Structure 1
Amino acid sequence: MNYGLSFARFRAAAPEWDAYTRHPFVQGLADGSLPRQDFLNYLVQDYLFLIQFARAWALAVVKAGDLDEMRTCSATVHTLLDHELALHVRTCAAAGIDIQTILTTPEANTNMAYTRYVLATGFAGDFLDLLAALMPCVMGYGEIGARLAQEAAKDTPYRDWIEVYSGKEYQQACIDAGALLDSAIRKRLGDDPESSPRWTALTEHFAAATRLEVGFWGLGTT
C-alpha cells in the first residue's frame, strides 16, 4: 500500500522496520502457529496500549495547526476507540476474559515504555515530532494486515485480526494518516524536508518507536 512519500522515507531510515513487520509473532499470526494464550496476553496489553495511543492522537488534535489536521487526528481517535478496541473486547470475551479483567491487568513495562515515549515526545515537541512517533504503529499494522491478507494460511485462527488491519476502513485510516504526514511536513519544512535540520530528529523519533514496536511483540511470545 502507498501511505505517502514521508512515510516511505521514514521507513527506509528505520533499520528495524523488517524486524517489526516480519517479527516471529507476525509469522505466527500468518501460519496459525502462535499459541492462543500468547495472542490473548498480547491482546490484553494491546488494549491498554490503545487507550494511551488514543490519548496521544487526542494530543495531536491539540498540537495540530489547522482544522484539516484536527479533523484527521480526531477521526483516528474515533477509529481507535470505536473499532480497534471493540475487536479486542470481542476476542477476549470469546476466550472468557471480560472487560474488567482487561482493565485491571497491570501494564507491562514494555507497554509503558512505548506509550509514555510517544506521549513524552508529543508533550515536549510539536506536531511533527508527535506524528513521527505515532506513525510506526499506524502504518506498520496496515502494512502487516495488507501483506497477511495475501500470505496468511486460509485456516489461520487469526483471520479476524488480519481482516481488521487489512480491511477498507483501517487501510483508509493509514492512507489518511500518510496524507496528513505529507501535508504537515510540507507546510512546516517545505518541499525538501530532508535538507531541514529537523529531519534527523524526526527520523530518530520514527526509528525509536519502531524499536519499541519490536519489543512490544515480545509481550505475546513465551
Structure 2
Amino acid sequence: MEVRKVVLRPGDTLYALAGRHGTTVKALQRLNVLGTSTLIYAGDTFRVPAGTGPVEETRKGRSTDGSPSPSPSPTKSKSKSMAKPAAKSPAGSASWRVVAFAQAQLGKPYIWGGTGPRGYDCSGLVTQAWKAAGVSLPRTTWGQVRAGTATSRAQLVPGDLVIANGGGHVQLYIGHGKVIHAPRPGSTVTVARLAAASGVVGYRHITP
C-alpha cells in the first residue's frame, strides 16, 4: 500500500483521522505500527493511505459522498486524545519529550546492544529517550534498576521506568496503563500493556 505523511494537529485522534482521510482506525494503527494503541501526539509525522485526503465538507455539514462529516474533537478532550503526560508529573515537559522520542521509534527492530537510530535493545531505548530530554542514564538495565528514585505502581507517571523479568528487562511507562519497550530479539519497539505487578521488580522515577 502506498502511503503519504501528514503532521498531526492538536486535538487529532485516530477516529477523527480515519474519518478525515476516508480510512479505518485499524488501517492507521497498522500503517504506524501502533498495535492496538490509540496514542498519538501533536507535531508527529503520521502515515495515511496515499490518495486519501481531508473529506471536503459542504455548508450543510455533510461530506461530498453524502455521509456526515467527522465532528472535531471537543476542546476539553484534547489532552486525553493526545495522551499528553499527566500534568501532575514532576518531569513536565521533559517527560513529554521522553515519551515522544520513544513513540517515534515504534516499529524499529530489536538490536542487542542497540542505541539507535536503526534499532534498540530495551535499555538502549530508555537511555536514548531520556537523553532526548537532557538526562543521562546508565546504559544497561542492571544500572537503570538503581537510577532515579523508587516509586510505586500507583504513582507511575509518563517517563518512569518499569523493571521486569527479574531485573533483566526495562520498559518506559507512557501513561494510561501502557508502556513502550523493545521486547526481545526478533521483535520491534512496540506499545504494550503495563506488566502485571507480579512480573515487576521495581518502578523508578527519573527527575530531570
Higher share of residues assigned helix: 1
Q: Same fold (TM over 0.5)?
A: no
TM-score norm. by structure 1 comes to 0.31
Larger RCO (alpha carbons 8 Å, 6+ apart)? 1
Determine which structure has more spread, i.e. the larger CA radius of gyration.
2
TM-score norm. by structure 2 comes to 0.32
